[in-house]
Amino acid sequence: MKDILIKNAHIVTMDDGAVYRNGCVLISGTEIKYVGEALVNADNAEVIDARGGIVMPGLVNAHTHLGMSCFRSFASDLPLNKWLERIFKIEDKLDDQLIYHFALIACAEALERGSACVNDMYLDVTGTARACLESGVRAFISRNVVDADGEAGLKRRLAELEEMYKLYNGREGRINVLASAHAEYTCSENALREVISRAKSWGSPFYIHASETVAEVQGCMERHGVSPIKWLASLGLPESTIAAHCTVVSREDMSLMLEHNIIPVHNPVSNLKLASGIAPVKLMLETGIKPALGTDGNGSNNNLDMFRELFTASVLQKGYTLDAQALDAYSAVEMATVNGAAALGYKGGRIKEGFAADVLVLYPSLFLEPVHDVYGIIAYSAESCDVRYNIVNGRVLVKEGECLTVDKERAAARLKELCAALF
């Protein structure tokens, strides 16, 4: 594969705050080889002229459910519990093949809207894995384990989880399989311990939904006498845990998160839309926690736009806490890049030599000017359609705003057919 040289770029590295007003980035294979202001001599490289636009790390969507594209705009304006009832009925009918089609749409959307990496959790992974391999996105995937239906169901799901780990982990240097449990309220202690033990033996993070609503926390108090975070912390966690939502967490929970390296993934749009609440991100940051950011699935968000997500995270936290510095533009971009990669444990989220070659190019636009503050432009002005190039693992997946790896017209026709049968 040819090297890629991006030149004429306003580079936001997210590496100790370094910004180059007129710089270039050289990509060799799957890594960044050079970033800086010296014009690199790269005669054989494919050249992308950023036209003076913004070059930044590809975004990391640290919590999503790719297979949920069929649910976009379904069960609108309902709270989480009522929304789930309606979703579950349809999810019962989903299989590998359906999930593959829906996840492929989600991959195209994630890529065109600026994500390089997605952290997926869903019912099944074969379909999701195929979609991620085909689209080129960097992906962490997992079959979420539950045992509400007893021992036999648990065994089957654990076997599936192990099988997929063998089949997919490490594929193309960009597919990773995580051990995930759905949530405290759908898993027995035994189920949680079984999943945690897989994460430990694989040396990867354990992944779970936690503390999404007041009702969930109250239920856990009744079942175990402690909050979901405290319950998890008591089970002997691996080196790191990724906890999606963490909307309803106490100061004690936050101390435990820091102590046990439980990294929250903030999903502001989904949490607002399902009326789950508003996570105390300002307090988390003050505690020393480094939250990541996610969109959740297309059923609860209706959109997989990480630019919209980081915008929402920042302005929401300011307005909610009445502190305009509660989550500044830089910190919001950091959540969507550096913190996401750190949570997932790979060398990415920065434009830096030796880091994963996940790079976005936004062309300059009249509506992204003037750039008094480049982080302010990214957080408060940029929209997903400003993404012109999305390079993942050294490969150009989006060019001039169009995803090269997914046939969108075919996917749209297939979506119509499949939804007509499902709903």
Q: Is 10 in the site for a copy of itself (CB under 8 A)?
A: no
Q: Give the one residue of 1, 39, 148, 412 binding a copy of itself; rule: CB under 8 A.
A: 412
Q: Please, what is the minimum distance in Å from the beta carbon of residue 46 to a copy of itself?
A: 26
SS (H, E, C) 74-125: CCCCCCHHHHHHHHHHHHCCCCHHHHHHHHHHHHHHHHHCCEEEEEECECCC
φ, ψ for residue 246, nearest 5 deg: 50, 45
Q: Given the rule CB under 8 A, which of 220-228, 336-344, 379-387, 388-396 is the region that contacts a copy of itself? A: 379-387
Q: Is 389 in the site for a copy of itself (CB under 8 A)?
A: no
Q: Is 246 in the site for a copy of itself (CB under 8 A)?
A: no
Nearer to a copy of itself, 24 or 274 (CB): 274
Q: Is 56 in the site for a copy of itself (CB under 8 A)?
A: no
Q: Is 105 in the site for a copy of itself (CB under 8 A)?
A: yes
Q: Give the one residue of 318, 345, 399, 404 binding a copy of itself; rule: CB under 8 A.
A: 318
Q: Footprint of a copy of itself on residues 183-242 (CB under 8 A)?
A: none
177: left (phi over 0), alpha (psi -120 to 50) or beta: beta
Tell me the site size for a copy of itself, rule CB under 8 A.
73
Closest Cα partner for 206 from 194, 189, 188? Answer: 194
Q: Give the one residue of 322, 354, 400, 421 binding a copy of itself; rule: CB under 8 A.
A: 322
Break the chain down into helix, strand, coil percent, rounded to 5: 45, 25, 35
- Residue whose pair of structure tokens reads 């710089």 in the numeric block: 23
Q: Give the one residue of 46, 325, 347, 402 binding a copy of itself; rule: CB under 8 A.
A: 325
Q: State the burial class of residue 196 (Cβ atoms within 10 Å of its Cβ: 0-12, 13-18, 19+).
A: buried
Nearer to a copy of itself, 144 or 312 (CB): 312
Q: The dihedral of CA 370, 372, 375, 376: what is its sign?
A: negative
CA distance 132 to 142: 12
Q: Please, what is the minimum distance in Å from the beta carbon of residue 345 to a copy of itself?
A: 30
Nearer to a copy of itself, 74 or 185 (CB): 74
Q: Is 83 in the site for a copy of itself (CB under 8 A)?
A: yes
Nearer to a copy of itself, 153 or 364 (CB): 364
Q: Is 366 in the site for a copy of itself (CB under 8 A)?
A: yes
Outline where 124-243 has alpha helix (H). Answer: 126-135, 151-168, 189-202, 214-224, 228-233
Q: Give the one residue of 18, 19, 40, 78 binding a copy of itself; rule: CB under 8 A.
A: 78
Q: Footprint of a copy of itself on residues 249-268 (CB under 8 A)?
A: 268
- Beta bridge partners, 175, equal 139
Q: Given the rule CB under 8 A, which of 91-99, 218-226, 353-361, 415-423 is the region that contacts a copy of itself? A: 415-423
Q: Footprint of a copy of itself on residues 273-312 (CB under 8 A)?
A: 273-278, 301-303, 305, 308, 311-312
Enter the tokens of residue 13.
């590295």
Q: Is 133 in the site for a copy of itself (CB under 8 A)?
A: no
Q: Is 316 in the site for a copy of itself (CB under 8 A)?
A: yes
β-strands 4-12, 54-57: how paired? Answer: parallel
Contact 355, 116 (CB under 8 A): no
